[in-house]
Amino acid sequence: MTLQIFLKKRKYELLLGALLQHLFIGIFLRDMELYTEVLWPINMGILGLASVGVFIAKGKLTNTLKTALTLIVIAFPVLLSFFKGVPQFMFLLNVSYVAFFTFIFVSVFQFLIKPSYINIDIISAAACGLLLMIEIFVFLFQMWAYLDTNSFKGLDYSNPANTYMDLVYFCSITLTTIGYGDITPNAHYTKLVAALMGIAGQFYSVVLVGILVSKFSNKKEE
């Protein structure tokens, strides 16, 4: 089995695994400097490779754009040590990451609404969609957090990795409507986007349940 065939056949399982390790690798880490300087670009390389299968059947333009975005999101953490603390650099970094994860999310969601059946790809793609939403909002909030450190209460700004992992935690518990309140939005725009995130999470869940029920019903009728 060639690498391309493997990436295409297991595309959503690979993407799901890559997203999980990117979002939650901090569970196993204590050295945040190591994460920022070494593991972060490696993580993005893994994500770029794991998402290749999602775009194999897409057009040349789509694949070119996806490759360009992948190279950009790998390059930013590599350059971070030279531009640490520069607001403009962090703004561009977060914008590129929002674009990268949104690009993948759109492709995954397009797949979810097309087939009239349920298999492991549908289940994996559904989980990928939820994690991609978390990724998108994490970097959207991180963009504002670096532009204005007062936009959130309770964030750890001691290291970029700590800030990122705090926002992964905040977005995960907000999207799942747990909401402990130890990290809270402190500006009108972060409050409103946090509210929008909660609504988007509920909407995604409702739509996803509808899609899965519809596919299951179609399979039973067939």
Name the band, by pLDDT with cuts 50, 70 and 90, for residue 69: very high
Nearest to 44 by CA among 104, 4, 88: 104
What are 172-192's pLDDT values in tens digits? 999 988 888 899 999 999 999
pLDDT score recorded for residue 152: 95
Of 91 and 1, the one with more pLDDT:
91
User: What is the 3 state secondary structure string of the chain?
Assistant: CCHHHHHHHCHHHHHHHHHHHHHHHHHHCCCHHHHHHHHHHHHHHHHHHHCHHHHCCCCHHHHHHHHHHHHHHHHHHHHHHHHCCCHHHHHHHHHHHHHHHHHHHHHHHHHHHCCCCCCHHHHHHHHHHHHHHHHHHHHHHHHHHHHCCCCEECCCCCCHHHHHHHHHHHHHHHHCCCCCCCCEECCHHHHHHHHHHHHHHHHHHHHHHHHHHHHHHHHHHC
pLDDT for 36 beyond 60: yes
pLDDT score at 79: 93
Q: Is 0.75 surpassed by the pTM of this model?
A: yes
Contact 29, 72 (CB under 8 A): no
The pLDDT tens digits of the residues spanning 188-221 come to 999 999 999 999 988 988 888 887 777 666 655 5
Q: Which of the residue ranges 49-63, 64-78, 111-125 would you say has the lowest mean pLDDT? A: 111-125
Q: What is the pLDDT of residue 116?
A: 65
Query: Where do the structural domains in the chain lie, given as residue ranges?
Result: 3-221
Give the pLDDT confidence score for residue 222 in this predicted structure.
54
Q: Compute how many other C-beta atoms are within 10 angstroms of the C-beta atom of residue 3.
A: 10
Q: What is the pLDDT of residues 151-161, one digit of tens each?
A: 999 999 988 99
Residue 58's pLDDT is 84
The confidence score (pLDDT) of residue 7 equals: 75
More confident residue, 121 or 68: 68
Indicate the pairing of strand 152-153 with strand 184-185.
Answer: antiparallel
CA–CA separation, 206 and 192 (whole Å): 21
**Average pLDDT score over the chain:** 89
